[in-house]
Amino acid sequence: MSLYHLPARRLAIDRRRAEFADRECEDRFIRHFLPERRAQLRASLLFSAFFYVVFGLTDIATLGPTPTAWAMVALRLLVALAALCACEAIARHPDSVRVSIRATCAVMVIGSSAFPILCWYQPAAMPWNLMSFGMILMAIYVIFPNRFVYSAAIGTGASLAFGAMLLVQGSLKLDDLVALVLMLILGNALGTIAARRFHLAQREQFRSAMLLEEVADCDPLTGCHNRRIVERGLLDAELTRAGRYGAALSVILCDIDHFKRVNDCHGHAAGDLVLGAFAGLLRSMAREGVDCVIRYGGEEFLLVLPETELAGAHALAERIRHAFAQASTPVGNGSSVTATASFGIACVPALHPYPPASFDVLIEAADEQLYAVKRGGRNGVRGTIVAAAPELLRSGT
């Protein structure tokens, strides 16, 4: 689960395609279900490959041990081989949505293209083949996890190929052909309805979960994230991500100076307005969708800045400090409040050989810097580089 919430407008569902209209959102949805999807896909591929081969017995029973029957068994084995290769590709690229979708489509196209060839040589077994084709359609639409539009395209294409084969073969009477066409249309219509309903239900459920999570993670007074985001371990995940890619990561811990006085002089409601104004300033200066602003305590806020070195974090903190000191917040009755804030920064620079193991280390370091500013008279910024190895610790920039 990512640190950042997607705005509700980006969670809109394109009902025609039965997926999220926003690509990033759809991607996040698929990634969320990727482990489950991988297991389902593997089971579907192995199950289908097994039955595709086992039905080779019917080829031999119908045609006898003739070269044609053996060629058909070989074709079935080829389809099974394609399914095994798809399983292997998915196992090699467990985090790739693209590989999982391409592998699924490839196997379904190969399997449904081979099927009319198998049926071509067994006109007498047509009722059975028709039943088998119904099951293949069910697998395409509802068993194999895939994008709805791809399932619909492959299902329709496979039906056209199967219908064309029967037409060319000429083994069916006109009334049977009409019934067959109607059956194929019905099979595809039912498949489309079932698949679309399933895709939409899954996405609506995901959207509700996202919206609930956003409400639970949001501080109602300031509109910032609350500490739940820290407790859910998302900041540790951010530190791990930065370490994996060798990227810098900075945090700014900031606190409004003498905030108790604001409450005491102007009342708690005025204090709330000042808090809201400070939070609004932090959010407006942070990068949307990249930085994360958390209300860490009463009048204390934490900014998490991915891919930001100490100098960048320092410059941002200075800009916020200056803007807040210049601003005055109207608190009713024609009066307004001017306040200042103090900032402590901790940074893990890019490609640091000894990044700290836990985010708490970063917060503690930022907290020390913040209190050094408070002790030094407030309304200032101090920062430090943080590392696991003490000899690399350089402080007091």
Ligand X SMILES: Nc1nc2c(ncn2[C@@H]2O[C@H](COP(=O)(O)OP(=O)(O)OP(=O)(O)O)[C@@H](O)[C@H]2O)c(=O)[nH]1
- Residues of 331-364 as b/e, b for ≥16 C-beta within 10 angstroms? beeeebbebebbbbbbbbbeebeebbeebebbbe
Is residue 263 a contact residue for ligand X (CB under 6 A)? yes
Phi, psi for residue 217 in degrees, rounded to 5: -90, -5
For 85, the enclosing helix (H) or strand (E) is helix 67-92
SS3 call for 385: strand
Cβ within 8 Å of residue 92, ≥6 positions away: 99
Stretch that binds ligand X, among 138-146, 204-212, 270-278, 314-322 (CB under 6 A): 270-278
Look up tokens 């509802």; give the residue: 142
Q: SS3 sequence, 6-33?
A: CCHHHHCEECCCCEECCHHHHHHHHHHC
Rank residues 44 and 222 by Cβ distance to ligand X and give the closer one.
222
Nearer to ligand X, 195 or 275 (CB): 275
Helix then strand count (H, E) for the chain reads: 14, 10
Closest C-alpha to 384, from 253, 274, 262: 253
- What region does 389 belong to: left with phi over 0, alpha with psi -120 to 50, or beta? beta
User: What string marks each residue from 356 to 375 as x (binds ligand X by CB under 6 A) or -?
Assistant: ------------------x-
Q: Give 3-state DSSP helix, strand, coil % of the chain, rounded to 5.
A: 65, 10, 25
Residue with tokens 């920064």: 345
Q: Does 259 bind ligand X (CB under 6 A)?
A: yes
331 binding ligand X? (CB under 6 A)? no
How many amino acids of this chain bind ligand X (CB under 6 A)? 16
Q: CB 335 → ligand X: shortest distance, Å?
A: 16
- Among 63, 103, 230, 275, the residue binding ligand X under the rule CB under 6 A is 275
Between 202 and 221, how does the x/- string for binding to ligand X read (CB under 6 A)?
A: -------------------x
- Which CB atom, from 10 or from 258, has the smaller least distance to ligand X? 258
Query: Among the candidate windows 87-95, 150-158, 256-264, 305-313, which touches ligand X by CB under 6 A?
Result: 256-264
Q: Over the range 141-166, which residues count as b (16 or more CB within 10 Å of their CB) and which as e?
A: bebbbbbbebbbebbbebbeebbebb
Question: Distance between terminal CA atoms of the chain?
Answer: 34
| Binding segment (CB under 6 A) for ligand X, from list 151-159, 228-236, 242-250, 260-268 | 260-268
- Closer residue to ligand X, CB minimum distance, 289 or 376: 376
- Whichever of 72 and 254 has its CB closer to ligand X, that residue is 254
Smallest distance, ligand X to C-beta of residue 298, A = 2
- Among the listed residues 272, 307, 364, 368, the single contact to ligand X using CB under 6 A: 272
- Which amino acid makes up residue 94? P
* Residue among 248 and 275 whose Cβ is closer to ligand X: 275
Site for ligand X in 22-51 (CB under 6 A): none
Q: Which residue from 298, 330, 332, 376 is in contact with ligand X, where contact means CB under 6 A?
A: 298
Tell me whether residue 257 or residue 309 sits nearer to ligand X (CB atom): 257
Q: Which member of 271, 344, 349, 380 binds ligand X (CB under 6 A)?
A: 271
| Two structure tokens written together for 312 | 């960048």
Q: What is the DSSP letter of 180?
A: H
State yes or no: residue 277 binds ligand X (CB under 6 A): no
Q: Does 299 bind ligand X (CB under 6 A)?
A: yes
Looking at 59, 255, 291, 367, which residue binds ligand X (CB under 6 A)?
Answer: 255
19 binds ligand X (CB under 6 A): no
- Binding positions for ligand X, rule: CB under 6 A: 221, 255-260, 263, 268, 271-272, 275, 298-299, 374, 378
